[in-house]
Structure 1
Amino acid sequence: MTTHQPRPTRILVVDDEPLVRAGITGILSTDPGNDVVAEAGTGLDGLTAVRTHRLDAVLLDIRMPDMSGLEVFCELCRAGVTVPCLFVTTFGEDDYIEEAVRLGASGFVLKSGDPHELLMGVRAVAGGGAFFSPAVARRLLDGRLAASFSETQRARVQFEELTPREQEVLRLIGRGLSNAEIAADLFLAEGTVKVHVSSILRTTGARNRVEAALVAVRSHEA
């Protein structure tokens, strides 16, 4: 009997530095479940590649000279392209990160971080989840970006307003799980998880899955 092999995760890597781009591609290629189908050295080339290829995830350097990753993301949003975008960032790019969160980016990894975080991030966002490198999450919560989100006490109140099942779902969102993974973990139908996620966003006031994950992190439930 022929064993069905899952389709690999099709990825686009966009970074203006050739060595960094090659390094990211090399790390991703260590997982046989990944397929880097295209690379781009400019934001404009990245936009073209997104329109050319069928993708499961896009890795975007958040700051590039011709067209930043944020500008690429904004253009994709305007065009109605919903491919998950994982931003690759460095310290000191808080303004970009804040705006990317507001617009609904799927996650962030540090260029100087653990390569395993890159693999985890791609797996999470390609599956419909959200992912933060721990160092990025700390900056979101501890730096001046913290003004964009609730204080810890408010996050706790928001969390307590959820039903017990919604709290379970939010904890798993905070850990970067996709709806399918949450459904498997909690023995629920994926459609039921989607209903819970919609209710969580409505109750907490989170504008997207990333902000919901931040509620879980700030309330120390992720």
Structure 2
Amino acid sequence: MKEPLPARVRVLVADDEPLVRAGIVGILGTDPAIDVIGEAGTGHEALAAARACRPDAVVLDIRMPGLSGLEVLRELRRAGPPLPCLFVTTFGEDDYVAEALRLGADGFVLKSGSPHELLLGVHAVAGGGAFFSPSVARRLLTGRRVGESGRAHDARARFDRLTPREREVLRLVGQGLTNTEIAGRLVLAEGTVKVHISSILRTTGARNRVEAALVAVHAGEA
């Protein structure tokens, strides 16, 4: 009996720079498990395409003329079930990254980063996980901002309120693992992992999976 073919990931790519967009599409095309089902050069096009075809993941540029990637994310979060969004960013856009996190972005990769990170990021967010390019994570976590030590203390306090099993789950969430991968790692049913994550969100006050992952990372647990 033949093994069933793995599910393919349907991706929409939005970037206002044609060469950058073509590069992203080209990289995604090297993965036989990814199908690029649409391209958009403006935020308005991206929003319309995302609503029309409901891809498994959207790769979004943060800054686009007219309707920005942040505004696209805000609109997508207002309507229907969450659509995984992976942002491509450049150095110097930390304020945009912080706002995207607040709005519920699922991950970030650098335009100047490794193509492998883009592929990992798409698979992670499409599978229900979160993903940060290491350099983006470092900037978020080690930036010398006022209140950084207070943030770490708050994250530790929230992490310590979790049960031992929830801490195990959150550590893996912080590493970008999907529910399926966490279930396999901890030998749990996937439904049990979902229950743990719902409890983690309630206990830590995180609004989404990415905020929960940041609790683990700021607490030094991921």
Q: TM-score surpassing 0.5?
A: yes
- Return closer, same or farther for 1:166/1:37 CA change in 2, 3 Å cut-off: same
2:215 corresponds to which letter in structure 1?
Answer: V
Write the mapping of 1:53-202 to structure 2, written as runs, cut at 5 A.
Answer: 53-143=53-143, 147=147, 151-202=151-202
Tell me if structure 2 keeps the 8 A contact 1:139–1:145: no
> Any idea what SS the aligned residue of 2:59 has?
strand
Deviation at 1:148, TM superposition (A): 8.6
> Any idea what SS the aligned residue of 1:109 has?
strand
Deviation at 1:7, TM superposition (A): 2.4
Deviation at 1:149, TM superposition (A): 9.4
Structure 1: tracts of 5 or more residues without a match: none
Report the identity percentage.
70
Spell out, residue by residue over 1:148-174, the C-alpha distance to the aligned partner (whole angstroms, 9 max, x if none).
995223322322222111111011101
Tell me if structure 2 keeps the 8 A contact 1:60–1:86: yes
Tell me if structure 2 keeps the 8 A contact 1:162–1:200: yes
> Any idea what SS the aligned residue of 1:210 has?
helix
- Return closer, same or farther for 1:150/1:189 CA change in 2, 3 Å cut-off: farther
- Return closer, same or farther for 1:5/1:78 CA change in 2, 3 Å cut-off: same
Choose 157-166 or 65-74, whichever is displaced more: 157-166
**How far apart in 2 are the matches of 1:203 and 1:111?**
35
Deviation at 1:92, TM superposition (A): 1.5
2:216 corresponds to which letter in structure 1?
Answer: A
Choose 154-163 or 60-69, whichever is displaced more: 154-163
Alpha-carbon RMSD across the aligned residues, in angstroms, is 1.8
Spell out, residue by residue over 1:131-157, the C-alpha distance to the aligned partner (whole angstroms, 9 max, x if none).
111111122223367759952233223
- Displaced runs of 4+ in structure 1, greater than 4 A? 144-150
Write the mapping of 1:2-41 to structure 2, written as runs, cut at 5 A.
Answer: 2-41=2-41
TM-score (norm 2): 0.93
- Return closer, same or farther for 1:151/1:181 CA change in 2, 3 Å cut-off: same
1:69 corresponds to which letter in structure 2?
Answer: G
> Any idea what SS the aligned residue of 1:188 has?
coil
- Return closer, same or farther for 1:4/1:74 CA change in 2, 3 Å cut-off: same
> Any idea what SS the aligned residue of 2:92 has?
coil
> Any idea what SS the aligned residue of 1:58 has?
strand
Q: Which residue of 1 aligns with 2:205?
A: 205
Tell me if structure 1 keeps the 8 A contact 2:54–2:83: no
